A = this chain, B = another copy of it.
Amino acid sequence: MNKGRLLLVPNTLDLGAAEVELQDVLPLGVIRQAAALAHWAAEDARSARAFLKRVAAVVPLARPLQETSIRELPRPRKGSREPVPAAEWQALLAPALAGHDLGLISEAGLPAVADPGAALVEAAHAAGVPVLPLAGASSLLLALAASGLNGQSFAFVGYLPQDAAARTARLRELESTSRRLQQTQLIIETPYRNAALLAALLASLAPETRLSV
């Protein structure tokens, strides 16, 4: 039996903001492919359903939403540093192994980039399930493109430590790396910590260091 594929489906970037028109930010071809899928692996089931409702307003779903299978990605146990067992990722691939295309979707943006899902992609490769990334936007690269900072050499380093002293030490390290390698450093933060992060950036970085928010 032929295996199904793992389709990496981009979500919109309007999570927590005013909702944009789906066709303003996602290609029609991607919306059509999403509408055809009956099996999903999702960072968050509720936001995946919300996405599919937006899709359905443009292209009818191949199968009603209540008959669409949406399984959430496994998360590491709270307080545990143990990775999720490989078997849990493999179990998510069951629809693809049974011949059905399977969608992977995040709450926002591209799956598996600054978001969970890379382990599922790795499991797909190991199981011989073809992986197809669909065209979509990443908040990281839109921010980089719009910044005017160096887009020929850059690094995404995730979150900074929450502890103030550790955060300052990490910022100094990233500033030094950016200068030594001429490499833009991209960091992210949750909205409710933005003000504290901005204050730390202004207090820690050298005046000649360029910053884009």
Contact = CB atoms under 8 A, between A and B. Distances in A.
A122 B148 contact: yes
A24 B13 contact: no
A151 B112 contact: yes
How many copies of this chain sit in the oligomeric assembly? Answer: 2
Give the one of A25, A117, A145 with max B CB within 10 A: A145
Interface of A: 8, 10, 13, 21, 23-30, 110-115, 117-119, 121-125, 131-133, 135-138, 140-158, 183
Given A121-B147, A131-B146, 7 more contacts: A114-B151, A115-B151, A119-B148, A122-B149, A138-B141, A153-B155, A155-B156
A133 B21 CA distance: 16
A43 to B, nearest CB: 13
Nearest to A23: B28
Given A29-B23, A29-B25, A148-B125, A156 B158 contact: no
A161 to B, nearest CB: 14
Contacts of A118: 145, 147-152
B142 A121 contact: no
Contact of A133 (B23, B133, B145): B145
Nearest to A13: B135
A152 to B, nearest CB: 5
A75 B184 CA distance: 22
Contacts of A141: 110, 113, 138, 140-141
15 contacts: A21-B29, A23-B29, A24-B29, A110-B142, A113-B141, A121-B145, A121-B146, A124-B148, A125-B148, A131-B148, A133-B146, A136-B137, A137-B137, A154-B155, A155-B156
A145 B116 CA distance: 10
A144 B138 CA distance: 12
A23 B31 CA distance: 10
A146 B133 CA distance: 6
Contact of A145 (B8, B27, B119, B153): B8
B156 A153 contact: yes
